[in-house]
Amino acid sequence: STHASKIATMNSTMLARSGTAATSVHRHQVPVFGVLANGRSVRSTRTAYRPDVPGASAQRIVRSVVQPASSRGKLQCVAAAPKDDFRSKDPKDVRVLVVGCTGYIGKFVTRELVKRGYNVVAFTRENAGIKGKLGKDDIKKELSGAEVRFGSVLDKQSIRAVAFKEKVDVVVSCLASRTGGKKDSWLIDYTATKNCLDVGREQGAAHFVLLSAICVQKPLLEFQRAKLKFEEELQAAGDITYSIVRPTAFFKSLAGQIELVKQGKPYVMFGDGTLAACKPISEADLAAFIADCVQSRDKVNQMLPIGGPGEALTARQQAEMLFRLTGQKENFFPVPVALMDGIIGMLDFFAKFFPAQFEDAAEFGRIGKYYAVESMLVWDEKAQKYLPDA
């Protein structure tokens, strides 16, 4: 397989957990890149294997065999009960719990689910947003149409008593560390997300949709390791189905540069601007794709890398587009990658003696370098290269 998560062929005679029921396996085309605003038109597809799901009457199914990028050849096979009846219901009869609903993508996902008519529960802190600037009334206004409930994803009892006070069919997690710091990454990307999964399984949720990131294919950073650990535990759970969405870069990453270019200032890039490429996806397109994962059977137990339509663009190509659109003369400010290496090395040195003050700063430097030199595209582990046309 050339995808971040390799999908293996499953023995069609494999028995389910009951030891008696067997299931067949067939090829199924899964969308990868090129989602439009309606979330349905795609640029290409990939062939994956998934269990044949005969419907709500099925007693058992055998889950797809999924090999995470980090498993290095270790094959996982997990049996799971389908709990499939919610997929045939009208959206208004499907309760969807969204955690991370006040985050950058979480807000778009919550609104999209509301627009589609789902019974949406948005679970969040009382003071959310950057530095807790949003109060209860602000949050309710931003997430109009959803039932907003307040509690903590770090407290299982809060999740259990508040978020799951009625039966939830699907959990959608848009939780993500805001900083990418080491402690914060494990606290949010792993622990908080795992809390929601644990309580969801305990309370009978049928499906878990995870917003992850395409960069976990090459885990060099702490937040990537935290996300991968949770992905692996979600796949191994066995009693809940999943859809793991790994988006590429967002257009938000260009926003700061746009204003600078419009003012006639230079476009800042690393090296010559051709070190990395991506297929930026809009917030609305990504939200639509995530909403599709709630009831779409073809996205059950799948790893789903997703990006915008068109060709992969380097930083230099993005800059050239901005200059053309704004009518400004091309003006580049290249930053040597070696400069970043020097800064990271210095911060790592000081972190040995003053970890509280410098450990996260060094990690932020590594994050900056990663996005400067690594493409946000599907990674071919075997060929050791990114696939611009995947």
Label each residue of 75-119 as H, E or C.
Answer: CCCCEECCCHHHHHCCHHHCEEEEECCCCHHHHHHHHHHHHCCCE
359 vs 78, 224, 385, CA distance in Å? 38, 17, 30
pLDDT for position 3: 37
pLDDT digits (tens, 9 = 90+) for 325-380: 999 999 999 999 989 889 999 999 998 999 888 999 999 999 989 988 999 999 99
Q: pLDDT tens digits, residue range 49-94? A: 333 333 333 322 223 333 344 444 444 444 444 566 899 999 999 9
Q: Give the model confidence (pLDDT) of 241-286 as tens digits.
A: 999 999 987 766 677 788 889 888 999 999 999 999 999 899 999 9
According to the model, what pLDDT value does residue 83 have?
63
Looking at residue 32, its amino acid is V
3 state DSSP class of 71: helix
> Which residues, 6 or more positions from 199, have their beta carbon under 8 angstroms from its beta carbon?
156, 159, 160, 163, 164
* Least confident stretch, 43-52, 177-186, 369-378: 43-52
Average pLDDT, the chain: 80
Rounded mean pLDDT of 219-224?
94
How far is it, in rounded angstroms, from Cα 40 to Cα 291?
A: 11
The per-residue pLDDT for 247 is: 94
Amino acid at 325: L
> How far is 60 from 375, CA to CA, in rounded Å?
40
User: Each residue of 93-147: pLDDT tens digit?
Assistant: 999 999 999 998 999 999 999 999 999 999 999 887 766 778 889 999 999 999 9
Which comes out higher in pLDDT, residue 125 or 25? Answer: 125
**pTM score:** 0.77
